[in-house]
Amino acid sequence: MNIVVTDIENQELFSCGIEDIDKAFQFARQMEEMDIEVKIMAPSLPETLINALGSSAEDCEKLKCAIDREISEHL
């Protein structure tokens, strides 16, 4: 699973493995210092776990939808 840094138009600017998350935050900080707004997209802990356990892409998507649904119910 990868960490992805995108601009506000969702254009990928930087990508790295989860083990290099510090690099993603460092890159994002550099972009923001140049007044470029970015967002960091990283897998959640449950997504990382289900992926490590070898689940299919379909199961990972189901989990993500369930997490999103649970969060929206509490907003």
For the segment 1-58, what is each residue's pLDDT rounded down to a tens digit?
A: 799 999 999 999 999 998 999 999 999 999 999 999 999 999 888 888 988 899 998 9
- Sequence-distant (≥ 6) Cβ neighbours of residue 4 within 8 angstroms: 12, 14, 15, 24, 40, 41, 42
pTM, 2 dp: 0.73
Two structure tokens written together for 25: 């935050």
74 SS3 class: coil
Rounded Cα distance between 42 and 16, Å, is 10
